[in-house]
Structure 1
């Protein structure tokens, strides 16, 4: 007879049938992780060979990617994802934050001049979940265990919040833009803005309403917010960056009525997002992905190099 137990508040209790099934699924996933990665690498190698033989592009060159680092970048814009909201999220939502940060990292390393991307309050469950990505410690990211206010001068900080009355018209490299790493199912509406005000931190929203019209709620994920900022740092206009990144299903059009022709983002479902993104712009206290995993960036090199190893039991 199975006598598996779990410890709750120092007391050992028998596992339920559902808990046992979940534990077995997790163990099986961990045992086969390396083998799955080998198969995926082989599959990508074969696809690269076919693409090369046909003269087709197969994503960015890996050698070039290794040369495009934050330290060698001419872009010194600092962007922070504040992961100090762990107590407000369930484990599965922390996992969603980790996936969105994974996609942000992937986008950053694929531009010629990456931004300076920081993850603060890097510890606890979030660190444990992110560590399931093989080689995460080698990612070109600035990991900080400290709270974001301990890492930068207070006067340089600008917390992004859709509840703010302040509008960013252009990015300032002397400022540090902070994205709230919170997926909360609208349970903590306005939390980031409230905390920024209480702590005397500057706050602002992105100028979505000033450039585009959307048919749905203006709800964005952590990685969408980051990629919009990234696009602007690379020389794109706010309008072009919005229309490129905001999913086509949201029916985004510019003020002149031109539709969003981006197809890349249609896979990303950001319905029922965090409360702080439900107004006019995106703090990234962000999206609940309706229980569906969102795919990593589409180019094959990303799929090979940044395979998501998120525990399926989450």
Structure 2
């Protein structure tokens, strides 16, 4: 006969063994190898990239100091100008030329190249825009000035270098700002728009009434040759170039800034004489001399197109054609605010243009 006590003990022992086995199985499953988790770590920066990041951080940290210095410089230049006017050293110039006539000609600065410019080039573009506006409002014969694709970095740069630009749209000699691109802002672009590009085979004869001429707002040190010409072709727009080669012999390469092209065009509208316009605007250091037969030669009109910058890059020139003295003079004669910051020197321009 079995002993009941021994049977109970046997059953308890079996249950204990089963519990231990279950716990062991659970622990084994918890200790089973898991799928490895993949973590993507960015590759380490090169030494050059580290230096650039450090430089950018220092530049950002000093922004307030730079803004304060610009403001101080503007006030100083205004005071110098005021003293010179009081002493009779320079004439007082009204904000808008007396009796100014605004023609039916329009000039657009196409700013749709922002992604192709460095920070210093963006700032240079903003400064040149300010000079264009200043030249237009002081000219006896002004044009309708437009800025297209006016957004992003260039808009911010202009806000810093010339805070008064917010008043341009309502001034006596207005400038219009368009956030839209060229085609959206000018629906009839294919009918009455001429894109200025040095690569165009069409040389300007005159500035046509009721026509809009486009200057590419790009400072790029010739990294993108032919860019504006290609854009004009892709958009199906007329294109052309200024007749610089027909009228001038240059001792240096024909590098023009945005404001040089703009000023030549408004000077031509005033004088109706290309040679006079070139000589009045071209910096003396370029050594531009009238060709012996320039007075009698008539510029060709191939293809019926309009303006542009011949061997100079009319789609906007490079920075560096203007010396520090030129910039300070522009600041002294400009009633609006400008920062006086030096532009980065330009590399020599090739004949390929945009």
TM-score (norm 2): 0.69
Judged with a 3 Å threshold, the aligned counterparts in structure 2 of structure 1 residues 138 and 24 are, in CA distance, closer, same or farther, namely same
- Choose which of 333, 336, 339 in structure 2 pairs with 1:309: 339
Tell me how far apart the structure 2 counterparts of residues 291 and 254 of structure 1 sit (CA, whole Å).
Answer: 21
Partner SS state of residue 289, structure 1: coil
Partner SS state of residue 166, structure 2: helix
Report if aligned partners of 1:161, 1:192 keep a CA contact under 8 Å in 2.
Answer: yes
> Residue in 1 aligned with 2:314?
283
Partner SS state of residue 75, structure 1: strand
Report if aligned partners of 2:107, 2:214 keep a CA contact under 8 Å in 1.
Answer: yes
Partner SS state of residue 87, structure 2: helix
Tell me how far apart the structure 2 counterparts of residues 105 and 213 of structure 1 sit (CA, whole Å).
Answer: 28
- Choose which of 58, 63, 82 in structure 1 pairs with 2:91: 58
Report if aligned partners of 2:113, 2:217 keep a CA contact under 8 Å in 1.
Answer: yes
> Residue in 2 aligned with 1:166?
202
Report if aligned partners of 1:221, 1:285 keep a CA contact under 8 Å in 2.
Answer: yes
Q: Give 1:80 deviation, angstroms.
A: 0.5
> Residue in 1 aligned with 2:163?
134
Cα shift readout 1:38-64 (whole Å, capped 9, x = no counterpart)? 44433333332222xxxx5424134xx
Judged with a 3 Å threshold, the aligned counterparts in structure 2 of structure 1 residues 110 and 86 are, in CA distance, closer, same or farther, namely same
Judged with a 3 Å threshold, the aligned counterparts in structure 2 of structure 1 residues 61 and 299 are, in CA distance, closer, same or farther, namely farther
Cα shift readout 1:233-283 (whole Å, capped 9, x = no counterpart)? 11240011112212222221212189xxxxxxxxxxxxxxxxx96x62442
Q: Give 1:189 deviation, angstroms.
A: 0.4
Q: Give 1:160 deviation, angstroms.
A: 0.5
Residue 124 in structure 1 maps to residue 152 in structure 2: yes
Residue 100 in structure 1 maps to residue 125 in structure 2: no
Report if aligned partners of 2:197, 2:313 keep a CA contact under 8 Å in 1.
Answer: yes
Higher mean C-alpha deviation, range 124-133 or range 137-146: 137-146
Residue 87 in structure 1 maps to residue 118 in structure 2: no
Where do residues 174-193 of structure 1 align in structure 2 (5 Å cutoff)? Answer: 174-193=210-229
Q: Give 1:211 deviation, angstroms.
A: 1.6
1 or 2, which has the higher helix percentage? Answer: 2
Report if aligned partners of 2:215, 2:314 keep a CA contact under 8 Å in 1.
Answer: yes
> Residue in 2 aligned with 1:273?
none
Tell me how far apart the structure 2 counterparts of residues 151 and 28 of structure 1 sit (CA, whole Å).
Answer: 38
Tell me how far apart the structure 2 counterparts of residues 201 and 237 of structure 1 sit (CA, whole Å).
Answer: 26
Gap regions ≥5 residues in structure 2: 1-41, 43-49, 169-173, 295-307, 345-354
Q: Give 1:216 deviation, angstroms.
A: 2.3
Tell me how far apart the structure 1 counterparts of residues 269 and 152 of structure 2 sit (CA, whole Å).
Answer: 31
Gap regions ≥5 residues in structure 1: 1-7, 259-275
- Choose which of 97, 104, 113 in structure 1 pairs with 2:141: 113
Report if aligned partners of 1:59, 1:299 keep a CA contact under 8 Å in 2.
Answer: no
Rg (Cα) greater in structure: 2
TM-score (norm 1): 0.77
Where do residues 252-263 of structure 1 align in structure 2 (5 Å cutoff)? Answer: 252-256=288-292
Q: Give 1:200 deviation, angstroms.
A: 0.8
Report if aligned partners of 1:103, 1:296 keep a CA contact under 8 Å in 2.
Answer: no
> Residue in 2 aligned with 1:263?
none
> Residue in 2 aligned with 1:266?
none
> Residue in 1 aligned with 2:15?
none
> Residue in 2 aligned with 1:47?
84
> Residue in 2 aligned with 1:219?
255
Tell me how far apart the structure 1 counterparts of residues 153 and 324 of structure 2 sit (CA, whole Å).
Answer: 19
RMSD between aligned alpha carbons?
3.1
- Choose which of 262, 266, 283 in structure 2 pairs with 1:247: 283
